[in-house]
Amino acid sequence: MAKAKVKKEGKNVQGHIRARLDYLQKAAVYLQNAQQNTAHQVISEETGNSAYAQNDLHSISNGKKGTQGTSGAKKTTEPMNNLSRVCVSHLRGVALKTQIRLPIALKRSVCKRCDTILAPGVNCSHEIENASRGGKKPWADILVVRCFVCGTEKRFPQTEKRGKKLVQRREESALQHEVAAANAEVEEAT
């Protein structure tokens, strides 16, 4: 009796899980952007310099009740504060349970402590540090991302090229010696 052949898994077996992860990421980005837009709306309504505030005044003067006041906008921002963070924590949980690796770009764009989506200049800062003497060693550059929400720092090395392995260095030096020997022979011949 021979064993039954086991079917190999296809390339897109976990497509539904990847679609779920993609949806959670897009939802988190959308909710965070919506939260920031409503926060800007509240600030601009308090100062009175916004088109939103002018539209509210226009609708009130036409006899319509304005649905967006400062108190209404504040009420909607309070529940939305953590929705994007919840989506990101679900995203991480699903990826962990299903053993799917998240893309590096996604991992680097999310704070690992407070699950906030990091947007440069909005809720995080990007700085390049070089701790070498005088900053002379370019391979010692480190990108430091600081989250303004929780204060966490993430550090990423910024090396463009990895150091070559010993075998590759020996091959290159052998080629250079051969080229130098060939050039010396050509000079002697002339």
DSSP, residue by residue, 119-134: -BTTTEEEEEEE-SGG
Instruction: Give the residues across from 157 on adjacent strands.
Output: 142
Is 114 a member of any domain?
A: no
| Tens digits of residue pLDDT in 21-80 | 999 999 999 999 888 887 767 666 666 654 444 444 344 434 444 444 455 555 565 566
Q: How far apart are CA 150 and CA 132, in angstroms?
A: 28
Cα dihedral 80, 43, 119, 81, rounded to 10, equals -20
* Domain assignment of residue 80, given as a range: 13-102
pTM given for the model: 0.62
Contacts of 37 (CB under 8 A, 6+ apart): none
Q: Which residue has the higher pLDDT, 125 or 8?
A: 125
Q: Classify residue 44: in a domain, yes or no.
A: yes
In a domain, 33, yes or no: yes
In a domain, 1, yes or no: no
Q: How confident is the model at residue 169 (pLDDT cuts 50, 70, 90)?
A: confident
Please report whether residue 133 resides in a domain. no
Average of per-residue pLDDT across 12-17: 86
Answer yes or no: is 159 within a domain: no
Instruction: Give the mean pLDDT of 110-129.
Output: 93
49 occurs within a structural domain:
yes
Total of domains in the chain:
1
